[in-house]
Structure 1
Amino acid sequence: MAAPQPTPFRVAIEPAVLDDLRARLARTRWPDEPANVPPWQAGTSVEYMKQLVDYWRTGFDWRVHEAALNEFRQFKARVGGIDLHFIHEPGRGPAPMPLLLSHGWPGSVFEFRRLIPMLTDPARFGGDERDAFTVVAPSLPGYGFSYQPGQAAFGVEEIADTFAALMTDVLGYERFAAQGGDWGGFITTRLGHAHAKKLYGIHLNLLAVRRDGEMPQTDEAEKRYAGELAHFLKEETGYQWIQGTRPITLAHGLTDSPAGLAAWIVEKFQRWSDNDGDPAHAVGRDEMLANITLYWVTGAIGSSFWPYYWRMHREWPIPRGATIDVPMGYLEFPKEILRPPRSLAQRTYSDIRRWTVAQRGGHFAAMEQPEVLAHEIREFFRPLRST
C-alpha cells in the first residue's frame, strides 16, 4: 500500500467563530474569590482573569497569530487512522538532520514559533549552518488541527507509533532525531523504547521516570526530589485526576465557556513557568492567548485530555525494568514541575550523553527560553549526525 501523501494546510478560522468567542467573553459570569484567600493560592486569580478576558475580547488579534502560523509549511496526512496536522519546515544547511518536535498539554505547535527558525536556520541566529535541522512539529492527535469529532482517543503509545509512521512511512526519513517536554517528553521516551532503530537520539526537557514506591533515597539529591514529588502529588495534581478519570465531564464546561477554558489553562502557565506572579511575563500575554484561542477555535480541549485518561488506566508507557538505550540529552529548567536527579534518570535512560541545568526557565521551555533550548538541541545532536 502506498504511503499517504501529505496535503498542504493553512489556518483560516471563520469570522463567525471569532465573533462568537467575543460574544461569549462579554457574557462571562465570574466566581467569587474570598478576601482571606490570597490570589492564585486556590486557583486562577479572578481579578487577573477579568483583566485577561477584557483584553482577549477587545485587544487580542487572532489574525496576527494565524498569519504567523501560516508562515510555516503546514500539512495534513492520514496516518494512524486520523488526519494528522504537522509543520514540516526544511533546514537551511548542507545536510539538515530531521527532527521531530513533540509538544505537550496545555500547549500546542504555537509553543515552537520562535524555536523552529533557530533550528532550521542556525546561521541566521549566529550559529553554524551545519547544525541545521529539518523540523517536523505535529499537533498531537486530539490537539489543535489534529482533532476531528468522533476520532479515537489516543494515549502516549498510539501517539508515538503515529509519529514514527509520519516520519518514516509518510515523510520517508530512515532515521530522525526527537525532542520533547511534558507529554512530548513521554512520547519521545516511548519512541526511544518502541522505535529505537529509527532514532539518532532523543533530547528532553522533562523526564519520564517512574513515580512509585521503589524510588531510592540514597543521597541528598534523591531525598530532595522525593520531597518535591510528594508536594507535587499532594498539591498540584488535581487537574490530572479529573482529566484522567472524568475527562468528558470537564469537557462540557470548558468547551462551552472560553473564560473557563482560559482559567483552566492560565493556571498552569502561572504555576509552571518561571515568572514573578504574572505568567504573561514569562511567555507573553498574546502568545498565551494564541495558544488558548487555538484550543477554543478547534474545540479540542476535551480530546486533549485523553493521554491523561489512558495514563491512569494503563501501565507506565515504559515497561518495568526496561531501559531507553538510545543516546539521550537533557536540559533541566529550575522552575520545571519535577526535576529528578541524574541518579534516578539513569535507571530509565542508560546512555545519557548530555545533562545541562539552565539558569532560568520553567515548564514551557520553547516559549520561555527558546535560545537556550535551541543551543542545547544543537549541541547534543551535533556528534550524532555522523552516526
Structure 2
Amino acid sequence: MNSPTRTVSAFETRAPDADLNDLRARLAAARLPETETVYRAAPDPRRWEQGVPLADLIEIINYWRTEYDWRSFEARLNQIGQFRTTIDGLGIHLLHRRSTRADATPLILTHGWPGSIAEFTHVIDELAAPKNRDAPAFHVVVPSLPGFGYSDKPATTGWGAEKIAAAWVELMDRLGYHKFAAHGGDWGGVITAILGGRFPKQVLGIHTTLAQAPPELTTDGLTAGERKWTEDTRDFWLHHAAYAKQQATRPQTIGYALVDSPVGLLAWILDKFAEWTDTQDSPFETISKDRLLDNVTLYWLTRSGASSARIYHESHGGINAVDPEFKIDIPSAISIYPRDIEKCPRTWAQERYRHIVRWQTPKAGGHFPSLEVPEYFVKDLQEGLAAVLTASGRRS
C-alpha cells in the first residue's frame, strides 16, 4: 500500500453549471415507457412488483428537475471537510471531521452500493460532537469507495474488498490514526469485517449492520424467528438479486445506461431504496426526496454508474468469497435491522464474529438505517462502539 506520496490534500466540490443544466435538460427530454401492467392503489408495496411505478418516477423526475438543490448538498460536503490522497496509484476521496473532544476515538465509516458518502453527511456532527457528554466522540472519516463519487475509477481489476480494507488502514495511518474503530453496512459491512479480521493491531473494534455467517451452517437449534431470517435471506438471493448478478457479470453493459441516462440511474437506485427500506409502500415514507437525490446526483455528476457497479465483479459473494474460514476476534457490535436484505442469526454470526460484545435487533429500519432512522442509528452506533471500546480497553 505504499505510494510515491503520503500527502492528504484538501478538496472542494463545485459542479460546473453546464453539468447541472445538462442534467435538467436530459430530465426534461426523457423518454419513458408505458405504465406497468399491474396497477394497485397506493399505499401498497405490491405496486412495485414490476419495478418503479411510472407515476412515482414521473413525480421524482419533476422534483429533481425543478426543485432539488444540489448546491446545498455540495456546500454541506465542503463544510464537513473534504480531502483526497493517492493509495496504490488510485485517488481516494474522503470526508474528515476531527472532534474537539480530547477523548475522541478515530472512526472510519464505510458505505456500500447503491449508497455513498451521502448516507452519513447528516450524522457526522453528532458523532464528532455528541450533545450527550457521556456519549463517545469520534474523529470521523468517511471515504468514498474506489469507483464511487470523487474517488478515482480503477483502470484495472484488483480493487476488491480485501484491497480496499488494506487501503483504509493506510488512509487512517496517513491521517495520524494508528488505531481506530470501524463501522459499515452492505459492502461497507464486508470491508469492516475484513478490517477487523485482517488488521487486529490497528482496529480497536467494529460495529456493523451486516453479519455474514460461514457457509453451510445447520438450522438445527434456531428459533422459528431465526429460521425465518435465514429463509428471507435465501429468498432474497434467489429471487431479488438480479441487479447483483448483472453488476457482477456485466457491469460495463449496465454502466452505459447508468452513465448516459439520469432517469435510468434514478430508477435503478430508487428500485433498491423502495425494496430495501422499512416502509409500507414508498421509500419516501422515511427518506426525503432531497436525501435520496443527494445520493443519485452524486452518482450522476461523477459518472460512477459503471465504476461503482464493478465492486460486485471484484468481490461478489462477500466475506465467504474472500475466505470461508475467515474469523474476527476483536470486539464486535452487530445490529440487524428488521427489513434488511440479509439477516444472520446470532448463533451463526458468532461462528465468525467470535467476540460479540453487543447484539441488537432494532424494531424499525431496513438496509439504509442512517437515512431511515437516523436518530436511532446514531444512538445505536454510539452505544455499540462504547461497548466495543470498553472491551478493547480504550474506555473505562
For Structure 1 versus Structure 2, the TM-score category normalised by the shorter chain is over 0.9
1:217 offset after TM fit, Å?
A: 3.9
Structure 1: runs of 5 or more not aligned: none
C-alpha distance in 1 between matches for 2:187 and 2:12: 25
AA aligned to 1:380 is: G
Structure 2: runs of 5 or more not aligned: 41-46
1:311 offset after TM fit, Å?
A: 2.5
SS at match of 1:202: strand
C-alpha distance in 1 between matches for 2:238 and 2:127: 38
1:315 offset after TM fit, Å?
A: 7.7
C-alpha distance in 2 between matches for 1:209 and 1:315: 9
SS at match of 1:106: coil
Q: Deviations over 1:45-71 (max 9, x none)?
A: 111111111111111111111111211
Question: What does residue range 283-322 of structure 1 map to in structure 2 within 5 Å?
Answer: 283-312=287-316, 316-322=320-326
AA aligned to 1:247 is: P
Instruction: Pick from 346, 354, 360 the counterpart of residue 364 of structure 2.
Output: 360
1:337 offset after TM fit, Å?
A: 1.2
In structure 1, what is the equivalent of residue 115 of structure 2?
A: 107
Q: Deviations over 1:176-226 (max 9, x none)?
A: 00000111000000111211111110000121334x444434323442223
Q: Does 1:242 align with 2:257?
A: no
Q: Deviations over 1:4-48 (max 9, x none)?
A: 111101110001111111111111111123433553101111111
1:314 offset after TM fit, Å?
A: 8.9
Q: Does 1:147 align with 2:152?
A: yes
Instruction: Give yes or no for contact 2:146–2:153 (8 Å, CA) kept in 1.
Output: no
Instruction: Give yes or no for contact 1:93–1:131 (8 Å, CA) kept in 2.
Output: no
In structure 2, what is the equivalent of residue 82 of structure 1?
A: 90
In structure 2, what is the equivalent of residue 43 of structure 1?
A: 51
In structure 1, what is the equivalent of residue 333 of structure 2?
A: 329
SS at match of 2:320: coil
AA aligned to 1:32 is: E
C-alpha distance in 1 between matches for 2:313 and 2:300: 21
C-alpha distance in 1 between matches for 2:156 and 2:147: 8
AA aligned to 1:374 is: V
C-alpha change, 1:114 and 1:312, in structure 2 (3 Å) is: closer
Q: Does 1:172 align with 2:176?
A: yes
C-alpha distance in 2 between matches for 1:205 and 1:117: 21
C-alpha distance in 1 between matches for 2:72 and 2:35: 34
AA aligned to 1:216 is: T
In structure 1, what is the equivalent of residue 22 of structure 2?
A: 20
C-alpha distance in 2 between matches for 1:285 and 1:8: 30
C-alpha change, 1:246 and 1:10, in structure 2 (3 Å) is: same
C-alpha change, 1:284 and 1:344, in structure 2 (3 Å) is: same
In structure 2, what is the equivalent of residue 351 of structure 1?
A: 355
C-alpha distance in 2 between matches for 1:332 and 1:314: 17
C-alpha distance in 2 between matches for 1:150 and 1:279: 34
Instruction: Give yes or no for contact 2:38–2:50 (8 Å, CA) kept in 1.
Output: no
C-alpha distance in 1 between matches for 2:48 and 2:365: 20
Q: Deviations over 1:343-380 (max 9, x none)?
A: 11111100000011212111111111222222122222
Instruction: Pick from 122, 131, 137 the counterpart of residue 132 of structure 1.
Output: 137
C-alpha change, 1:268 and 1:34, in structure 2 (3 Å) is: closer
Instruction: Give yes or no for contact 1:254–1:260 (8 Å, CA) kept in 2.
Output: yes
Instruction: Pick from 178, 182, 185 the counterpart of residue 181 of structure 1.
Output: 185
In structure 2, what is the equivalent of residue 218 of structure 1?
A: 221
1:274 offset after TM fit, Å?
A: 1.5
What's the TM-score once normalised by structure 1's chain length? 0.93
AA aligned to 1:229 is: T
AA aligned to 2:163 is: E
C-alpha distance in 1 between matches for 2:350 and 2:194: 16
Instruction: Pick from 148, 158, 161 the counterpart of residue 163 of structure 2.
Output: 158
SS at match of 1:316: helix
AA aligned to 1:205 is: T
In structure 2, what is the equivalent of residue 10 of structure 1?
A: 12
C-alpha distance in 1 between matches for 2:125 and 2:134: 12
C-alpha change, 1:378 and 1:106, in structure 2 (3 Å) is: same
SS at match of 1:128: coil
Instruction: Give yes or no for contact 2:184–2:191 (8 Å, CA) kept in 1.
Output: yes
Instruction: Give yes or no for contact 1:62–1:290 (8 Å, CA) kept in 2.
Output: yes
C-alpha distance in 1 between matches for 2:348 and 2:114: 26
Tell me the matched-pair count: 382
C-alpha distance in 2 between matches for 1:121 and 1:58: 35
What's the TM-score once normalised by structure 2's chain length? 0.91
1:286 offset after TM fit, Å?
A: 0.6
Identity across the alignment (%): 36
Q: Does 1:64 align with 2:66?
A: no
